[in-house]
Structure 1
């Protein structure tokens, strides 16, 4: 049976590759895509999602518009990291697909109620829409089959402030709502959190893009062209910040974990979010030894094999690109 997934994304270069990874995975069935304000404003996120579905020649998939602002604070976006439209140098054709009539938070609730215990949630964006969904349906942690979150940093420097990771820092109040809500989840339903500690080991290099293009039948493949244009911007950003000509592929890694949790080892922890610290607002704090006297509410991903992930990503997306745009039809 294919695995039903809700994606909650702020597309985003690495969110784009996460979407392509799931579309390329035969065991995945995307039942809804929530467009969250983050890397770029929510309407642009939605436009990117619709356009990628067109480029990938995907069938009908619901794309919903989420809240255009965090729960409490004004929205910050990061076009310097992801480009003016959020997809680097890529220029995708405008889509004629229509947005869903229901807001993202309603889509979350309706789908988990429709398929209780069957839906995997994948959040690679600020947690605004999931927090709003939890307000409407507090039983959501019990209704989901699994939740994977890309966010946070534990015993690791932040990438937005010295202590805070981007997705959490955009809407720390929403992150706290989500982590608090999952304190009531049974152990097998705790969210798997892929934080910077592990996702910054997922370094894409130009050789990875070359391998993907080779499997796809060459750089002339249209899907490879769009991806290359997006990823090149991301690599240039990392280079300009003295990290080398690489790209941290946080979100497709989280997508792979959503489908196959065996890609990571995990450690239970009680996680909370700092909301009042002058220097540490948005910091994710993990109690690993039970000092707070509260039960664990997450499983923190601690180790993985990046080469295994990249082999899987390249094979799946490269093959998907070749099948979507056969060389003899270009």
Structure 2
């Protein structure tokens, strides 16, 4: 079991260059805003994958949020427009018809490099910057699978890979055994882990294997509505931000700060969704934890495993299986997160987002 003190990367002031691939998505939006708040993180590009909503909406959400966070300079690109094999299934009941709950999106503006293919961009960036780029994947793995097809040396070229996906010895959130991102494109996930098995057999260093943040640990990041009250205080909002379970569904925020208002309106929808599925008035913010792992700001422990994905069985379609004991006789192809610290993670999140919100208010 590996114990990782990610905060040491911050203390050494290492600039972390990140390629983000997402399907924004409420928790994707929270993760992206968080990364925008970190001075030591350089976002190289945000690539969009179909998942929570169709890919054009994903890209529009990304551009709008980056604009809101003062980062319109970050390129937003599109790669795949559908899963590798199966039809796309989106999830408006979870994230809303636009993917960001009740939040009102600002005009995202034009995108001067929108026609550049995201997969080619990844490959060219990795070749030009060997060992420098961290990839954060909070979407179905379609784009990454396509990139590995075109450039099998990608595992050696990247600095780090962090994946939010899968469930191991844990109830799924899409079927009884399958997690959403993997279930949307299980064939892509299977290809990705097969590529890393092959790379491990060819001597890929252990530290370059993907770090997998599965439901087992991401659902520990269970956000309560009080988080938004703390965020508004940290942001210096004029009035308290109260998001209450007793409020009428769809109640909109009146926060004076635009970032707080955006996140509050998005997360309220997420609280309501979780309540509809008998989980309480809470929100599992899976992608924020994965972003903290990629950024080196959150502590965690991992276990090496060999991961495969079921793509044939109707009953278990999209299920991730991890061999932690080497029973398959194959080398480990991933490090699965086994422990994290949600309390410290939420303290980090409210501090960073609050500072970003104050800065944006001051600059406006």
Q: TM-score, normalized by length of structure 2?
A: 0.88
Give 1:192's match in structure 2, choosing from 198, 211, 214.
Answer: 211
Distance in 2 (CA, whole Å) between partners of 1:262 and 1:307 is: 11
2:165 aligned with 1:148: no
Give 1:116's match in structure 2, choosing from 116, 120, 130.
Answer: 130
> Could you list the per-position Cα deviations for residues 223-265 of structure 1 after superposition, in whole angstroms to 9, with x for gaps in the alignment?
1001100000000000111111110000011000111276110
Distance in 2 (CA, whole Å) between partners of 1:93 and 1:27 is: 26
Aligned to 2:242: none
Instruction: Classify 1:216/1:53 alpha carbon distance in 2 versus 1 (closer, same or farther; 3 Å).
Output: same
Distance in 2 (CA, whole Å) between partners of 1:204 and 1:104 is: 32
Aligned to 1:272: 308
Gap regions ≥5 residues in structure 2: 1-13, 238-254
Contact 1:198 1:302 in 2 (8 A): yes
Query: What SS does structure 2 have at the residue aligned with 1:142?
Result: helix
Aligned to 1:294: 330
2:171 aligned with 1:135: no
Distance in 2 (CA, whole Å) between partners of 1:238 and 1:227 is: 16
Give 2:318's match in structure 1, choosing from 272, 276, 282.
Answer: 282
- TM-aligned CA deviation for residue 66 of structure 1: 2.1
2:4 aligned with 1:25: no
Aligned to 1:168: 182
Give 2:282's match in structure 1, choosing from 246, 249, 253.
Answer: 246
Distance in 2 (CA, whole Å) between partners of 1:224 and 1:209 is: 8
Contact 2:53 2:92 in 1 (8 A): yes
Distance in 2 (CA, whole Å) between partners of 1:190 and 1:262 is: 18
2:296 aligned with 1:260: yes
Distance in 2 (CA, whole Å) between partners of 1:315 and 1:261 is: 12
Give 1:221's match in structure 2, choosing from 257, 278, 287.
Answer: 257
Query: What SS does structure 1 have at the residue aligned with 2:335?
Result: strand
Contact 2:63 2:72 in 1 (8 A): no
Query: What SS does structure 2 have at the residue aligned with 1:268?
Result: strand
Gap regions ≥5 residues in structure 1: none
Aligned to 2:4: none
1:39-188 to 2 correspondence within 5 Å?
39-98=52-111, 99-183=113-197, 184=199, 185-188=204-207
Q: TM-score, normalized by length of structure 1?
A: 0.97
- TM-aligned CA deviation for residue 100 of structure 1: 2.8
Give 2:272's match in structure 1, choosing from 225, 231, 236.
Answer: 236
Contact 1:37 1:66 in 2 (8 A): no
Aligned to 2:223: 204
Contact 1:31 1:62 in 2 (8 A): yes
Query: What SS does structure 2 have at the residue aligned with 1:325?
Result: helix
Paired residue total:
328
Query: What SS does structure 2 have at the residue aligned with 1:17?
Result: helix
Distance in 1 (CA, whole Å) between partners of 2:99 and 2:130 is: 33
> Could you list the per-position Cα deviations for residues 21-62 of structure 1 after superposition, in whole angstroms to 9, with x for gaps in the alignment?
100011100001110000000000000000011111214111
Distance in 2 (CA, whole Å) between partners of 1:220 and 1:117 is: 42
Distance in 2 (CA, whole Å) between partners of 1:255 and 1:126 is: 15
> Could you list the per-position Cα deviations for residues 77-134 of structure 1 after superposition, in whole angstroms to 9, with x for gaps in the alignment?
0011000100000011221131532111112111111211010000000000000011
